[in-house]
Structure 1
Amino acid sequence: MDGDLLQQFAAVQRAQGLAANTIRNRHSIIRGLIRATGKQLPDITVTDLRLRLGRDGISAGTRRTERAAFAAVFAHLVEEGLRDDDPTLRLAKVRAPRGTPRPFTREQIDLMLRSGAYRRTRAMILLGYFQGFRVASIAATHGADVDFTSGTIRTVAKGSKALVFPLHPVVRTLAATMPADGWWFPARGGREGHVRPGSVTDAVRDAKVRAGITDPRLTAHSLRHSFGTDLVDAGVDIRVIAELMGHESVATTQIYTQVSADRRREGIHALEGVPLPQRSGRSQIAA
């Protein structure tokens, strides 16, 4: 029964124009809920949901994402007459701390590009850093998205928004070597279309490991954080950065205005040094 319900729910979301990645992530979250409770969706209670959201080992951001998925599916069940109540209405809101960027340094990005990464992995890294693309946009890059005449590149961003961005010169050079009328990263194994976003994540992770970068916080999405952080450090207006990152509100972009590690290092080094005293000077004071 739940399989049919989830197929119907997926069809509703596609009709709403939600991104395939969003639908896929919600499906995974809901399947996890069903496995954890051992119940069918119409029988799940608010207590079940609280236990699921309150389990150990997940971040506040994950809890918030899962709560949103639960709210969407149970609202659908009520609308279709498959439940009389929506248990998510009794769930407390999830408070998630304001995020902080976790960018690669430019040196780390150069290392990944020069440490034996495959050509298509290098292309993924360049799109992530020089265009600020999310992994879903990287995976779905098509030759037809690039307009050499206007110097732009088109993508479908988070929330299924079709956006057009200026083409960075590095990506323009890259585009001349990529398929002009096909997916830049076609799926393998006989599948049609482009690679999944997870394949981009895996490829960048492998390049990171090959480059000897051990920070577990750095992921493929960190390339986008590097894009935003380095633009701030270069003095680009925050409103321009918001446009380049596809943010609807400048408030979302504000996390990149936090002082970067390089700026903090420059700040501490701005204090002029003094010779370290070898003696306390107490004997001279006593005299």
Structure 2
Amino acid sequence: MSLQQVTDAYLDHLAVERGLSANTLAAYRRDTARYLRYLDTQRVLEPESITTHHVTGFLQAVSSGTDGGSALSARSAARTLVAVRGLHRFWLLEDLVTADVAADVAPPQPGQRLPKALSIDQVTALLEAVSTDTPAGLRDRALLEFLYSTGARISEAVGLDVDDISTAIGENPQGTDGDQRGPALVRLFGKGSKERIVPLGSYAAAALDAWLVRGRPGIVAKAGDSSRRKSTTRTATAALFVNQRGGRLSRQSAWTILQNAAERAGLDVEVSPHTLRHSFATHLLQGGADVRVVQELLGHASVTTTQVYTLVTAETLREIYASSHPRARG
């Protein structure tokens, strides 16, 4: 059988037995087609003739673009290698080859990307830039305070219902420094509906209380009146954060709220909803929190994911040392 035939058998296996989506199958088809074109340039005509050297050569070629295609980033090259590994593994299981020559080929390591975090002063300016003179302003302030206080993903925040938060606020309604009970606790539902419990700081609790008492009822009532005038049967949503029509606030709207606040605060850095999550983690670590605690608060499955934030704080320490120590630089 030709290389194309045994590769088509692999793709059929992915479609029929693995049930991969059309988009995923298309990606596998592109990656394996590029691999076969490379093998053709190496005058390799059958699976048994492929060596580990050919696999590593292909990985280097796609990373640099020397195989005639566009150069791939480390992340994209690693994805391509997944397809090649799967191909060789399938050939071994089908007794088309006697060894899996791709098994020990390591993917390229992507460069460590540091999360973008705001300084504490920048976060304060961002939050205080939101006017609370209107119901929408109360909502916007409560949303941003909640994101920074809990480190929640934007999808987790807009997915909350009133019942998810009202009890927590009631446990510590004032959020005053003199309250010995400490911050309230809030349930968040992360990826895979995994539940975690996070504290809710006093500023966020106060902002949410103001939103629930003085902001949300007015918006929901107005939306209800509008619905009745249009003779609809729509009822008010249970969502904690609602839009002007009384429906659940979308992620896109939350993004706009943050962008508007950043503009009013005069921040000259790129800001996204995830920026507040990054800032939450970075500021906790700078304040002495253990990385395992931050892992739990963020809902990371592995502490390795959380440890990227320690690189941010280490960089900050280097900057402070370099600018402050009299003999840091010659």
**Shorter chain as normaliser: what TM range?**
0.5 to 0.7
Match of 2:163 among 144, 167, 190: 144
User: CA distance change for structure 1 residues 46 and 165 in 2, over 3 Å: closer, same or farther?
Assistant: same
Provide the residue aligned with 2:241 in structure 1.
Answer: 185
User: CA distance change for structure 1 residues 160 and 223 in 2, over 3 Å: closer, same or farther?
Assistant: same
| Gapped regions of structure 1 (runs ≥ 5) | 1-26, 34-40, 72-91, 277-287
Corresponding letter in the other structure for 1:105: S
Tell me the CA shift for residue 131 of structure 1: 0.5
Q: 1:59 & 1:43 partners in 2: Cα distance?
A: 15
Provide the residue aligned with 1:122 in structure 2.
Answer: 141
Q: 2:112 & 2:193 partners in 1: Cα distance?
A: 24
Corresponding letter in the other structure for 1:152: L
Tell me the TM-score normalized by structure 1: 0.60
User: CA distance change for structure 1 residues 49 and 235 in 2, over 3 Å: closer, same or farther?
Assistant: farther
Tell me the CA shift for residue 273 of structure 1: 7.0
Q: Give CA-to-partner distance per residue, 1:75-129, whole Å, 9 cap, x none.
A: xxxxxxxxxxxxxxxxx97854333120111111122223345332222211221
Corresponding letter in the other structure for 1:184: L
Matches within 5 A, 1:18-57: 45-46=29-30
Q: Give CA-to-partner distance per residue, 1:45-69, whole Å, 9 cap, x none.
A: 426997xxx998x9766x59xx69x
| Gapped regions of structure 2 (runs ≥ 5) | 1-20, 35-64, 84-105, 132-136, 173-183, 214-236
Provide the residue aligned with 2:204 in structure 1.
Answer: 171
Tell me, yes or no, if the aligned pair for 2:116 and 2:278 is still in contact at 8 Å.
yes
Corresponding letter in the other structure for 2:296: E
Q: Give CA-to-partner distance per residue, 1:173-228, whole Å, 9 cap, x none.
A: 223223389322124557x4x22222212221221122222223x32201000000
Corresponding letter in the other structure for 1:113: L
Larger radius of gyration between Structure 1 and Structure 2: 2
Tell me, yes or no, if the aligned pair for 1:247 and 1:253 is still in contact at 8 Å.
yes
Tell me the TM-score normalized by structure 2: 0.53
Provide the residue aligned with 2:154 in structure 1.
Answer: 135
Structure 1 position 106 matched with structure 2 position 120: yes
Tell me, yes or no, if the aligned pair for 2:116 and 2:275 is still in contact at 8 Å.
yes
User: CA distance change for structure 1 residues 189 and 259 in 2, over 3 Å: closer, same or farther?
Assistant: closer
Identity of aligned residues (%): 28
Matches within 5 A, 1:76-95: none
Provide the residue aligned with 2:252 in structure 1.
Answer: 198
State the SS of the aligned residue for 1:154.
strand
RMSD: 4.3
Tell me, yes or no, if the aligned pair for 1:143 and 1:175 is still in contact at 8 Å.
no
Q: 1:119 & 1:256 partners in 2: Cα distance?
A: 31
Tell me, yes or no, if the aligned pair for 2:162 and 2:240 is still in contact at 8 Å.
yes
- Aligned residue pairs total 217
Tell me the CA shift for residue 247 of structure 1: 1.2
Tell me, yes or no, if the aligned pair for 1:138 and 1:200 is still in contact at 8 Å.
no
User: CA distance change for structure 1 residues 199 and 93 in 2, over 3 Å: closer, same or farther?
Assistant: farther
Q: 2:304 & 2:212 partners in 1: Cα distance?
A: 37
Tell me the CA shift for residue 259 of structure 1: 4.2
